[in-house]
Chain A
Amino acid sequence: MEEIIKKYKGIIPDALLDEINSNSDQLNRKQLEEVLEKTKAAYEFAKIQPGEAIGIITAESFGEPGTQMILRTFHFAGVAELNVSLGLPRLIEIFDARKTIKTPSMEIHLKKECNNDVDKVKKIAAIIKQTRFQELVSEFSINLAKMQVEALLKKKKIREIGITPVTIIKILQETLKSCIVKSDGDKIILKTKVENSELTEIYKLKEKAKTVFIKGIKGVTHVLPVKRGNEFIILTAGTNLKKVLQIKEIDQIKTTSNDIFEIAKVLGIEAARQAVINETTNVIKDQGLEIDIRHIMFISDVLTISGVFKGITRSGVTGEKESVLARASFETPIKHIINAALSGEKDELNSVIENVILNQPVPVGTGLPDLVAKMKDEENEK
């Protein structure tokens, strides 16, 4: 039995062979051979034939459902306050490889020990969320008599996130080196080191103090613990994958971000490819549409094949096409033609669009195979 299966190794994919192998005890020899033969035929049938224009078929497979997509940008991820951009704009964002995306967010999964405990999850969420000084202050005021800024602290909030006013003063003093930070009961007093400073400077100090980073992970502006299935996960607005992955309680395997550039930087290009597949599938499913996974995989390969995440733009994948005419027919034709003329580029006319321009048969489908005539050797004839 094993031998027969071994014969098909390399002909049928291993995953299929394993599946057949695990069920082979229900079959006799003849049946097994028949199953393998039929699997092989089905596999061969599913293969793409040489000369199939997969690029255009993929483009059309995205383009047709794209016309049905609603231009609705935002979608509330279950609960209010946190929204994620979806639909056609998000799809364009991915395929163009935008550096700054509209709604960066993370999906943080937790380790088994703590993903069922609401209090623990909330605690971790509080650690992750970035806190700036202004969020801890109920009232800022400028004392004109003493020329100083007075900030009234929110006691409850400070207790919630688990720090003391002393540490706040310490952090403030470290970041705002040009001023003196003092404590006065519930208040924190900020004063410039220079005496008799002007009002504008005090005002500037107040604005600067507001944005002082106190606690948490930079970039994560909102956190939202959500129950999904039978575990709690944390959704965030704003991403910082590198810092979040360093937290002990977090499941490093499942935690993801929707910023593909960040994934490529932190986890590598293969992870970015998978992220493109996941994000794209997500968008399409959300719209109630269906696109074959192979098209999505193909486009992800195109975007990441150079080792860097590149979009389908004139500065990305399209701009790196070999043919001058193909590049010129996409965007900014004059630029491409002039540069080609300056460096004396040669166009081999190997792709589709150039041959359409020249009215030659395009090298896909029936245009791909060539007849090779074998000329009789002249010497032999003599």
Chain B
Amino acid sequence: MTDVYLDDKFIGTVDNANEFINTVKQERRKNKLSPAVNIFYNEASKEIFIDISKGRARRPLIIVENGQSKLTETHLTNLKAGKLKWSDLIKEGIIEYLDAAEEENTLVALSEEDLTQEHTHLEISPIIILGFITSLVPYANFGQSARLNRGSKTQKQGLGLYASNYLLRMDTDVSVLQYPQSPIVRSFLHDIGKYDKHPAGQNVTIAIMSYEGYNMSDSIILNKGSIQRGLARSFYFRPYTVEELRYQAGLSDEICIPDKEVKGYKSEKDYKYLEDDGIVYPEASLKTEDVVIGKTSPPRFLGELEEFSIAANIRRESSISLKQGEKGTVDIVLITENEEGNKLIRVRLREHRIPELGDKFASRHGQKGVIGAIINQEDMPFTASGIIPDVIFSPHSIPSRMTISHLIEMLAGKVGSLAGRYINGTTFDSEKEVDLRKELLKFGFRDNGTEKMYNGITGEEFKANIFVGNMYYLKLKHMVANKLHARAAGRIQLLTRQPIEGRSKGGGLRLGEMEKDCFVAHGASLLLKERFDSDKTIVHICESCGMFAIFDGFRSRKTCSKCGNNVEISAIELSYAFKLLLDELKALGIYPRLILKSKYEV
């Protein structure tokens, strides 16, 4: 007697468990039961669980009967010819999906050679343990697993052709790589996923060496000549949106070149790119603080609209302009209407991004780094045959990360570019390193991939042989132009009078607690005070009650609202945040007193 549960609900018992399970499985394979049904037999507790619920992770396996895979050569040829589809294989009971529970009752062979009588299923391909993006890493089985993770993470950040209709789209914060290439060293998933239709990188010549120390700590050196030839250039798109909002009393925003009477009018220069409709013209090259879309809004408070007020009809300026450090060319202008019937204007700015110091690059093996130097082509090292690398990569990035796959890709890329063919680097099923080396030897290179190189500046021969190869390199979406930030003075918070936070608002850079400790540890007392001066204020203190007194600047008269005029009142310098703290304490009913002492008395 075995209990049977359907979706964890008891539905009855069966006498012969194995027969029952076999029937269910056979029916499913004959397509009489839904292929989504999974059955699991727990022999120890004598329970059968049938699962048909949603949300189970399942995976396909080839069915094996009597030690023979049910997938035959005829199936494969038919598949290739397009006569057979994946769904047909499931219908015919050649492939079935198993969930985590049913898998416990199976014995799965990794490859066809391993099959014995006991096996029930066959793995379609060992690469199935990896996800799609991870499968794009060539020779992944030669790398460290942690690096493989990072490698697939960086691939998602790589710039490429993210959508073929990108010219028609208004995506925020996207880039498109110029001249993307399809990788020389690839896995079969590049073909299945049609990677060549949306590639995200370029094949570069790379040398593993140190050069003048500009590639320490994971940074890389780029060849200026390569950049001038178009390596890793990209376009950055940023849309600006303005909506003509409607307010009470028939008032509304107006998209136009603002009138000079408007409150907050900038200057004529700032509006120079606007056309008569108040919108910039396409292909206008804008710089910081240029207005993209001119707009005026009605006064903020209706009270301002009073009949006899002089400021009655003055509107506010509310144009959209470029922020600090932004620049670009107007790509397209879109004028339309949104769901509420308001006029909607979108302007897309395009910026040409040429690689510069600090831009981030990565290979597909989790080896990411930023540009440390861009060196003139004539100063770059060169090989005996005159090859000049595009990228110089630091040798210290290899041993601790153990990314052997990175090295093999370089070797394979070299063979591929010399032979003019693609190299299959599919994980677990790749072209052998030994064969690659033999082929490289045939082309007249050393079989270990190293070459004699010469210093580009002095012409001297390097003592060591340098490992040079070709590999697929990705430009990642993190570019310095989006991150660079500095400020001298600027906006402050209303409450504390301290600088506001964040790059987009032009905020300050915080000197944090630990940085403060550094100043103290150096004994730089007055330097520390100066750094924290951003919110200093001068307050007047009544020396009799210790509270803030009133200073009338017009008549230069000091009074304490508690003690009157005949008391000693002194001006002191404080941080505004502390004054705020004292005020808040007062609000709580605590009476904080400041007791002053003369600076000159000992």
Taking Cβ atoms with an 8 Å cutoff, the residues of A that contact B are 51-53, 56-57, 59-60, 337-338, 341, 346, 352, 356-368, 372-373, 375
Answer yes or no: B277 CB below 8 A from chain A CBs.
no
Query: What are 10 A-B residue pairs whose CB atoms fall within 8 Å in the complex?
Result: A56-B517, A60-B518, A338-B590, A357-B581, A358-B578, A359-B532, A359-B578, A360-B529, A362-B520, A366-B523
CA of A52 to CA of B521, assembled, Å: 7
User: Besides A52-B523, A365-B525, 17 other CB < 8 A contacts?
Assistant: A60-B518, A60-B521, A341-B591, A356-B516, A357-B581, A358-B578, A359-B532, A359-B535, A359-B574, A360-B529, A362-B520, A362-B528, A362-B529, A364-B523, A365-B522, A366-B523, A366-B525
Answer yes or no: B526 CB below 8 A from chain A CBs.
yes
Answer yes or no: B600 CB below 8 A from chain A CBs.
yes
Answer yes or no: B575 CB below 8 A from chain A CBs.
yes
Is B533 a contact partner of A363 (Cβ separation < 8 A)? no
Number of interface residues of B (CB under 8 A): 28
Given A59-B517, A373-B600, answer yes or no on A357-B578 (Cβ-Cβ < 8 Å): yes
Closest 7 CB pairs of A and B: A365-B523, A367-B525, A359-B575, A341-B590, A56-B521, A361-B525, A366-B525
0/1 interface trace, chain B 526-548, chain A, CB 8 Å (1 if under): 10110011011000000000000
Answer yes or no: B434 CB below 8 A from chain A CBs.
no
| A364 proximity list for chain B (CB < 8 A) | 520, 523, 525
CA of A366 to CA of B520, assembled, Å: 10
Which B residue sits closest to A366, measured CB to CB? B525
| A341 proximity list for chain B (CB < 8 A) | 585, 590-591
Answer yes or no: B129 CB below 8 A from chain A CBs.
no
Is B521 a contact partner of A53 (Cβ separation < 8 A)? yes
CA of A132 to CA of B525, assembled, Å: 63
| A368 proximity list for chain B (CB < 8 A) | 523, 525
Given A53-B521, A56-B521, A364-B520, answer yes or no on A359-B526 (Cβ-Cβ < 8 Å): no
Separation in Å of the A283 CB from the closest CB of chain B? 22
Separation in Å of the A215 CB from the closest CB of chain B? 45
Is A56 a contact partner of B574 (Cβ separation < 8 A)? no
Separation in Å of the A98 CB from the closest CB of chain B? 25
Is A60 a contact partner of B585 (Cβ separation < 8 A)? no
Is B526 a contact partner of A367 (Cβ separation < 8 A)? yes
0/1 interface trace, chain B 21-57, chain A, CB 8 Å (1 if under): 0000000000000000000000000000000000000
Separation in Å of the B592 CB from the closest CB of chain A? 8
Is B520 a contact partner of A56 (Cβ separation < 8 A)? yes
CA of A359 to CA of B591, assembled, Å: 21
| B535 proximity list for chain A (CB < 8 A) | 359
CA of A368 to CA of B520, assembled, Å: 12
Separation in Å of the A359 CB from the closest CB of chain B? 4
Answer yes or no: B460 CB below 8 A from chain A CBs.
no
Q: Select which of A52, A60, A337, A365 is within 8 A of B517 by beta carbon.
A: A60
0/1 interface trace, chain B 580-598, chain A, CB 8 Å (1 if under): 0100010000110001000
Is B521 a contact partner of A363 (Cβ separation < 8 A)? no
Separation in Å of the A191 CB from the closest CB of chain B? 42
CA of A346 to CA of B597, assembled, Å: 14
Separation in Å of the A295 CB from the closest CB of chain B? 12
0/1 interface trace, chain B 407-431, chain A, CB 8 Å (1 if under): 0000000000000000000000000
Q: Select which of B532, B577, B578, B585 is within 8 A of A337 by beta carbon.
A: B585
CA of A357 to CA of B526, assembled, Å: 14
Is A337 a contact partner of B590 (Cβ separation < 8 A)? yes
| B590 proximity list for chain A (CB < 8 A) | 337-338, 341
Answer yes or no: B524 CB below 8 A from chain A CBs.
yes
Answer yes or no: B1 CB below 8 A from chain A CBs.
no
| B574 proximity list for chain A (CB < 8 A) | 358-359
